Amino acid sequence: MTRFLINIILMLVIGFLTYLGITTFFPSIRDVIAIPIAIFLGIFLGFFIYIQIDNRMGP
C-alpha cells in the first residue's frame, strides 16, 4: 500500500511539473490542451516508474 501511495504522489508531481513546463516553455498552448497532456504524461510516466520499482523489489 505504501508503494501505491508513493506512486499516486509521484503521478501528481510529474503531472504538475509537466503542466508547469508546458505553460512555461510553450505559452501559446492553451490550458485546454496543456492540462490533458500533463495528466496523461503524469499517469503514464508515474505508472512506468511504479512498474520499474515493483519489478526490482519483487513481491
Locate the domains of the chain by residue range.
Answer: 2-57
> Residues 39-52: pLDDT tens digits?
999 999 988 888 88
Alpha helix stretches (DSSP H) within the chain: 2-25, 31-57
How far is CA 34 from each of CA 1, 18, 43, 55, rounded to the nearest angstrom? 31, 9, 14, 31
What's the one-letter identity of residue 16?
F
pLDDT one-digit tens code per residue, 8-41: 898 999 999 999 999 999 888 887 899 999 999 9
Question: Rounded to two decimals, what is the model's pTM?
Answer: 0.76
